[in-house]
Chain A
Amino acid sequence: MTDARKLQGDKLSEAEAIERAKQGDAEAFQLLYGLHKRRVYSLCLRMTANTAEAEDLTQEAFLQLFRKIATFRGESAFSTWLHRMAVNVVLMQLRKKSLPVVPLEETLENEEEAPKKELGAQDPVLSGSIDRLRLQSAVDALPPGYRRIFVLHDVEGYEHNEIAAMVGCSIGNSKSQLHKARMKLRESLKTSRAEKAAKP
């Protein structure tokens, strides 16, 4: 995440923008929004796999942040504060709106969704890099519980103890769900690659 920096010329730095936002400066609010909107929106989008829902949650996260900006004392990085708030907003809204929030212990609706165990003949490996769009599609297609843990850990960089506290599960459960998410993604990406290779 970006640190406070001088953008160019006489434009505001992030720290200056925060102070001016506390005074009600519209330009300062807009600058802070511009600096962090992609990160917050991407988090919401990955968690919900729905652009309209992600935009609503992005809006709510920034509104909550800006309403409390007068209380920001700079003890932690602004981006950290914002990001944690965005995660809380997303999780709370998912629970409130009864979007597919499957208990982590029962993420699988049926055994057909379970990632297959790798036994028997060796499958071709995913080599080199993964196409971002294909990875994005594969993540969007994950079951909600798997997707939530995967996004928080592998995309956003939270540790399992933090995820467990935020989501309300055990650390062991978080690790298990993450592993299943990765296995599911691997299946999906290999299938996608095989289909692409099979096309004339």
Chain B
Amino acid sequence: MNCVQFQEILPEVLEGGRTAEQESHLKSCPMCSGLVADLDLIAREARQLQAAAEPSQRVWNSIEIALRQEGIIRDPRLGPSLVPARPRRWSMAWLAPVAALVLVAFGIVIYQRGSRDSRLAAHLDTTTPSLVAILPNSQKPSNVNNNNSEDDQLLAAVASRSPAMQAQYASNLRNVNAYIKDAEESAQADPNDEEAQQIVMDAYEQRATVYEMALDRSLP
């Protein structure tokens, strides 16, 4: 056996099980034996490349954000979710049309209520407590001016159709507004914190879902 013949079957030789002829050639040929030794060394040393590098923190941050968005991580620190776990098909792309639908449906309800029973609406306006008025100062949301009137109108609609549910929805809205307030504070503290921004979006999504649920019970 010469070197050309030996190197042609070298892949099989390196996998193990050498014949007597191959062993004989290795013993007599320093070049081929040196080659085999080098290739064996490379194969052994390759293992040190395993688990040698570490990814940046960005990777875990992205994973955590995605898992929270999909509802796979359910963090007990933030309290129980006001709504059932969202199905995976929920994504931020649904937020805009859902919010638009909620607003349109709410507008229809208010218009219908106002035109059909104006005396009842007037009565509710004077007797249904303002959400902000009954909140302790520490829980008043930072966006109180925008959300307050919307919440009051929603509670008025719920109260007119399902009075027994008003207290529950008032409680839900207090909690989600507090959640929004905390999330916005965290996001404002560090505008570059992508996770905090995502939590703010999640909080508003929960608020939209509360509205949707409330309207489901309020619509005739």
Contact flags (1/0) for B128-145 with A, using CB distance below 8 Å? 000000000000000000
Q: Which of A118, A135, A139 touches B35 (beta carbons < 8 Å)?
A: A118
Interface pair A41/B55, CB less than 8 Å apart:
yes
Judged by a CB distance under 8 angstroms, whether B164 is at the interface is no
- Distance, CA A117 to CA B45, complexed state (A): 22
Interface pair A59/B59, CB less than 8 Å apart:
yes
- Chain A residues with CB below 8 A from B41, complex form: 126, 129-130
- Chain A residues with CB below 8 A from B79, complex form: none
Tell which of A23, A39, A59 has the most Cβ of chain B within 10 Å: A59
Judged by a CB distance under 8 angstroms, whether B113 is at the interface is no
- Distance, CA A30 to CA B72, complexed state (A): 13
Minimum CB–CB distance for B41 against chain A, Å: 6
Query: Given that A154-B47, A179-B11 are contacting pairs, would A132 and B64 also be in contact in the complex, using a CB cutoff of 8 Å?
Result: no
Q: Which of A4-42 contact B (CB under 8 A)?
A: 23-26, 29-30, 33, 37-39, 41-42
Contact flags (1/0) for A88-114 with B, using CB distance below 8 Å? 000000000000000000000000000
Q: Which of B67-103 contact A (CB under 8 A)?
A: 67-68, 70-75
Q: Which of B43, B58, B62 touches A182 (beta carbons < 8 Å)?
A: B43
Q: Which of B31, B54, B62, B72 touches A24 (beta carbons < 8 Å)?
A: B72
Q: Which of A23, A29, A150, A155 touches B50 (beta carbons < 8 Å)?
A: A155
Interface pair B67/A66, CB less than 8 Å apart:
yes
- Distance, CA A132 to CA B47, complexed state (A): 10
Q: Which of B39-54 contact A (CB under 8 A)?
A: 39, 41-43, 45-54
Judged by a CB distance under 8 angstroms, whether B193 is at the interface is no
Interface pair A126/B38, CB less than 8 Å apart:
yes
Interface pair B51/A42, CB less than 8 Å apart:
yes
Query: Given that A29-B73, A55-B59 are contacting pairs, would A182 and B49 also be in contact in the complex, using a CB cutoff of 8 Å?
Result: no
- Chain A residues with CB below 8 A from B52, complex form: 38, 42, 132, 136
- Chain B residues with CB below 8 A from A45, complex form: 53
Say what secondary structure dominates the interface of chain B: helix
- Distance, CA A41 to CA B45, complexed state (A): 19
CB nearest neighbor in B for A120: B31
Judged by a CB distance under 8 angstroms, whether B117 is at the interface is no
Interface pair B48/A132, CB less than 8 Å apart:
yes
- Distance, CA A54 to CA B59, complexed state (A): 10
- Chain B residues with CB below 8 A from A176, complex form: 11
Interface pair A59/B72, CB less than 8 Å apart:
no
Task: Count CB-based A-B contacts (< 8 Å).
Answer: 140
A interface residue count range (under 10 / 10 to 19 / 20 to 34 / 35 or more): 35 or more
- Chain B residues with CB below 8 A from A3, complex form: none
- Chain A residues with CB below 8 A from B167, complex form: none
- Chain A residues with CB below 8 A from B75, complex form: 24, 26
Minimum CB–CB distance for B192 against chain A, Å: 18
Judged by a CB distance under 8 angstroms, whether B1 is at the interface is no
- Distance, CA A159 to CA B46, complexed state (A): 15
CB nearest neighbor in A for B70: A67
20 A-B residue pairings within 8 Å (CB atoms): A25-B73, A26-B75, A37-B60, A39-B50, A54-B53, A62-B59, A62-B63, A63-B66, A67-B70, A117-B7, A118-B3, A122-B31, A125-B37, A130-B42, A130-B45, A135-B48, A136-B52, A151-B49, A154-B46, A155-B50
Q: Which residues of A line the B interface, CB within 8 A?
A: 23-26, 29-30, 33, 37-39, 41-43, 45-46, 54-55, 58-59, 62-63, 66-67, 117-119, 121-123, 125-126, 129-130, 132, 135-136, 139, 150-151, 154-157, 175-176, 178-179, 182-183, 185-186, 189
